[in-house]
Structure 1
């Protein structure tokens, strides 16, 4: 009898409604997917950063968002969050080159999520997805990657 080895690469995708509970559902999905694949060493970081991107999608858009978790063959994990708003915020507008944006003041009610991505992810980026045939913006994709030991 032969043994079956699990693939090193895999993808999970989830469409989330515009709902304040979407970030919680995204966290639970990340926890289940990474836990099921034995990626416990990066689980907390990926869960936190995913929650930040999904929360921003909820706060700054009026439509649904999509989450995609990809295990790449070289051991990296890539998480992408699509939403319907075309604006790509700093630090995602430019590739990570050691440049860090200024964090929010201590008394600010928000503005720290993307700084967490800068501090915790190995790389990140964003793409505008352009316009559809009717000239309407189709949104953006923000992503980050972490390396698994």
Structure 2
């Protein structure tokens, strides 16, 4: 067994956590609680509000538009930048995550849904999505990701 002290973990900003979520309406809450714990552990609590909103929106969409489990992945890109990714089994990539789609515009006040992806566009500094084939892993579906960081820091990956 190897024990790592917290000071050793703080040296490198490159870390990643994955959380498998069942197809359950409580999955978004579990994702938010996990995200808060991870960000606090890595000294990135100042990203908590926007990251929590983005993760919650992506996990909620995975629950609403897919029939199976989802996976949340949190990855530290730098000491001040986080990538949030969500995999689900539905292969459809909604705008603005698809390569051929433009930004999502404001949603009419009377609409019952559609605000989540608008929020992602507003709060994320970068985002993207891609289909996952049915190769050896047989996962299929898609992966949607977004990045949040301290304003003014360059993106680790382009939109």
Shorter-chain TM-score bucket reads 0.7 to 0.9
Compared CA separation, residues 23 and 138, structure 1 to 2 (3 A):
same
**Structure 1 residue aligned with 2:124:** 121
**Structure 1 residue aligned with 2:150:** 148
The answer to whether the Cα contact below 8 Å between 1:86 and 1:137 also exists between their aligned partners in 2 is: no
Gaps of 5+ in 1: none
TM-score (normalizing by structure 1): 0.87
Which structure carries more relative contact order (alpha carbon 8 Å, separation 6+)? 1
CA RMSD after TM alignment? 2.2
Per-residue deviation, residues 40-74 of structure 1 (Å, max 9, x unmatched): 21111000110000000000011000000000146
TM-score (normalizing by structure 2): 0.82
SS of 1:104's partner is coil
Aligned length: 143
Compared CA separation, residues 95 and 9, structure 1 to 2 (3 A):
farther
Asked if residue 13 in structure 1 is aligned to residue 18 in structure 2, the reply is yes
**Structure 1 residue aligned with 2:108:** 105
The answer to whether the Cα contact below 8 Å between 1:85 and 1:137 also exists between their aligned partners in 2 is: no
Gaps of 5+ in 2: 1-5, 152-159
Distance in 1 between the 2:115 and 2:147 partners?
18
* Equivalent residue runs for 1:48-127 within 5 Å: 48-73=53-78, 75-94=80-99, 99-127=102-130
